Amino acid sequence: MYLGIDLGTSALKAVLLADDGRIVAQQSAPLEVSRPHPQWSEQSPADWWRALTIALAELVRGHAGAMRAVRAIGLSGQMHGAVLLAAAGEVLHPAMLWNDGRSEPQCAELTERVPRLAQVAGNRAMPGFTAPELLWVHDHPPQVFAKTVKVLLPKDWLRFKPSGEFFGDCSDASGTLWLDVGACDGSDELLAACGLTRAQMPALVEGSAPPGRLNRNVADGFGLNAGLVIAGGGDNAASAAGMGATAPGDGFVSLGTSGVVVPCSDRFLPRPGSAVLAFCHAGAARGVDGAPFAVQGAPSVDEGQLPAS
């Protein structure tokens, strides 16, 4: 038995899967987006945790035995969002989401600081990406930026909360503008352009690696066994791996809060001039000699963020 958790923008979904892939049960809990100003889009990570608690409680209520039989937890989640943590692990600021549009001036600033940004990161600087969001924090609530010890993506915070461990993966990190996507490694140059270092980033592993493990207190509350591996990837990369879209030429269309077309490739193919995004695939879909497939998708257009080609 396996437990899959997807942290979406409008809901958190949880699904119990048998070893043969059969769906045993599924639950969801809705999420609200806060828009305190025009172009702003935020969520409280505490609401993510509350939604997870609700969904898993429903699964335990109807399938306690199956929950105790879970062997591992797979996470996927909305990409790009910035969760800023202080030294004690507390959240310092609402999470700015992938569809937050306030950081357009910071996108221009970042592009000016690193002219080869798109060639390294595989993507143009656009509002909603994590790096310009952090530059916005630096410029506006600078005291929050000064206290920031770790920056986590949404699903990585959802792994940190029950494990206390700081890990990320390359598929999700591809959407930060801090990753050298072709090398599947963090870029000191891109981090420095935002006043950050690798020490403030989670360690990067393959999406299929066993980095986080569920601690005893949380496990007991969720009706699960302690020590379960918590692995995962960015939402579209995880979807691709789950449906078997892992070979060059495979692809799919996803229509949710955003819409993307995702073809797979066996090499890094940045096309920033066309506003197509170039991301690493999930770790389970590594190619020959460990070369990652690139997942390329059209960015959301529901917030009017798609630049002209």
Q: CA-to-CA distance for 270 and 172, rounded, in angstroms? A: 16
C-alpha torsion 219→224→225→230, nearest 10: -80
Q: Which two tokens stand for residue 271?
A: 């096309």
Alpha carbon 47 to chain centroid, angstroms: 16
Assess if residue 294 is contained within a domain.
Answer: no
Residue found by looking up tokens 């078997």 in the block: 244
Confidence of residue 296 (pLDDT cuts 50, 70, 90): very low
The size of the chain, in residues, is: 309
Task: Examine residue 208 and state whether it is found in any structural domain, yes or no.
Answer: yes
**What local confidence, expressed as pLDDT, does residue 303 receive?**
31
- Does 182 map to a domain? yes
Total domains present in the chain: 1
* Predicted local confidence at residue 283, as pLDDT: 67
Q: Report if pTM > 0.85.
A: yes
Looking at residue 285, its pLDDT comes to 41
Answer yes or no: is pLDDT of 309 > 60.
Answer: no
**Residue 145 resides in a domain:** yes
148 vs 307, higher pLDDT: 148
> What is the domain extent for residue 211?
2-235
- Quote the pLDDT of residue 195: 96
Is the pLDDT assigned to residue 306 strictly greater than 60?
no
Model pLDDT, residue 202: 94
On whether the CB atoms of residues 149 and 180 are closer than 8 A, the answer is: no
Chain CA centroid to CA 108, Å: 23
Would 196 be classed as within a structural domain? Answer: yes
Phi, psi of 243 (to 5 degrees): -95, 5
Residue 275 lies in a domain: no
The pLDDT of residue 293 is above 60: no
Find the mean pLDDT for residues 31-60. Answer: 97
pLDDT given at position 7: 96
Closest CA to 196 of 84, 278, 77: 84
Question: For residue 258, which amino acid is it?
Answer: S
Residue that wins the pLDDT comparison between 75 and 296: 75
| Tokens coding 163 | 């494990």
- Which residues are the active-site residues? 235
What pLDDT shows up at residue 82? 95
The angle subtended at Cα 106 by Cα 102 and Cα 109, nearest 5°, is: 160
Is 244 inside any structural domain?
no
CA distance 279 to 242: 17
Whether 110 maps to a domain, the answer reads: yes
Tell me the pLDDT tens digit for each residue of 169-214.
989 999 999 999 888 899 999 999 999 999 999 999 887 777 789 9
**Cα–Cα distance for residue pair 69/41, rounded to 1 Å:** 38
- What CATH number should be reported for the domain holding residue 160? 3.30.420.40
| pLDDT for position 4 | 95
192: CB partners within 8 A, 6+ apart: none
